[in-house]
Chain A
Amino acid sequence: MTLTAATASRAGRPGPGVHATARIRAVRAGTVTALPVLAGDGPFDLRRGRSDGSQARVCVIGAMSAPLGGDRLRIEVGVEEDAHLRVTSAGATVALRGPTSGHAAYDVRVSVAAGASLQWLPEPLISAARSNLRQTCVVDLAATARLVLREEHVLGRVGEPPGRLSARLTVRRGGRPLLDLESRYGPDAPGWDGPAVLAGHRTAGQILVADPGLDERAPAVRLAGDDPGEGQAVLTPLAGPAFLVSAVAPDLVRLRRLLEAASRIA
């Protein structure tokens, strides 16, 4: 979907902004995972990919033009008992200023049941100048569920400052808090560019891995990146059976290299 086409398709809608909810439900069916619900909506087009063993694969296409100010976008994902799902996206998501200066909301709600797993690996989110996006991602994991979740934030397109970005990631395991972090950058976040937060870097990212098996074999802290100007990363074991890899870097290429280096488990 091009930006022009997206703008044209928005013209016929009532009120400012698009309201859309996409849904995915994955269930175990014998040796494979079936997708009885795979429902795109608005800017979200969901494509089923080739399965890998028992894991079903879905690609979110067309999030490219979204979200604009005023949009209310939502993706709901349910991975039921013993099902395995991998979700990727076809391109970066670019938050842009919309017809109103109000914020866009982009909410992801995920549940992963007992014995099930989810790999949530979208392409980066780019916060363009003058955009205003509030993203929330809430994940409910059963005690025996597994999760790999990646998020990457690019603050401004080339040569421009970022817009207002708030992205909250809340992960509960067995109903208890496992990780709760909000990434808040841009004009609404005093000090975001300074030495305590990003120190001039323009990309930040994290990979969360939750796996009940980590209870017995928690990885040790690992640092990556020797030159602070080139970016830095760290793998940190969390208080529960999970670890977080967190990185900051001048650009996406170096961010990904650091995330990969720090998350490689020996």
Chain B
Amino acid sequence: MTDRAALLVLADGRFPAGGHAHSGGAEAAVSAGLVRDAAGLEAFCRGRLHTAGLVAAGLAAAAAAGCDPLPLDEAADARTPSPALRRASRRLGRQLLRAARAIWPCGDLDALAAARPRGAHQPVVLGLAARSAGLPALDAAYAAAYESVSGPAGATVRLLRLDPVDAAGVLARLAEDVDRVAARAAGAARRVAAEGVEALPAVSAPLLDISAERHAALPVRLFAS
């Protein structure tokens, strides 16, 4: 029996997991002049969704489907060449795990916290939290895919003083893409039992990696990543 409303709780931007401190690469793209308006934000989000978003959705879906989280955590490392992005993902994972253990206590979350005291990758924790909340793999994929664009959209409202209505319009126009990415991620997660973690998507975005390191080297920035 699925408690579908739990998905709204988990995907809510006000869920206390520290996501508001990160821009998903939007701050670096805005500073570089690559995102100046709603159209630029949409292009940025579309690219992020089909690369980092798809990868995160695959990992989250696999964790929600009951795959062992530790090999998934290794798979996340192999898909994240940027050390700044690995650090950000583990920090967010640690914060999410703390909240999830308090909200949906379960042995699996405790075991992951014990095995990765410095934090597991955020999408893996997200998937396991979804599982603890009684959500299926597809819902976990939706939460990760949506978060991969809602984070940058929210950050860009602050960075560019973009009209929140325009930012919401961008997210609405990406809805079909989010559907496709979540479905593809959940489909890949179903193949992990037979094929291993290499069945999961690994699509990369070179500029997200390069900009993340450029951003991490800045002395002053609004967002942590």
A residues neighboring B (CB under 8 Å): 168, 170-171, 176-184, 189-192, 194-199, 204, 206, 221, 223, 228, 232-234, 236-239, 244, 246-248
Contacts and interface: CB of A to CB of B under 8 A. Distances in A.
A236 B213 contact: yes
Mostly, the B contact residues are: helix
Chain B interface size, as a band, is 35 or more
Interface stretch (B101-109, B133-141, B164-172, B195-203): B195-203
Contacts of A191: 43-51
Nearest to B43: A194
Contacts of B217: 221, 223
Interface of B: 25, 29, 32-35, 40, 43-52, 74-75, 77-84, 86, 177, 197-198, 201-210, 213-214, 216-217
A232 B29 CA distance: 13
B83 A180 contact: no
Contacts of B32: 195, 228
A246 B209 contact: yes
Contact of A246 (B29, B40, B81, B202): B81
A246 B46 CA distance: 21
A168 B207 contact: no
Mostly, the A contact residues are: strand
Nearest to A188: B50
Rank and list the top 8 A-B pairs by shortest CB-CB distance, nearest first: A191-B47, A196-B47, A194-B43, A195-B34, A191-B46, A177-B78, A239-B77, A180-B78
B51 A196 contact: yes
Given A191-B43, A191-B50, A237-B83, A196 B202 contact: no
Contacts of B86: 239
A234 B44 contact: no
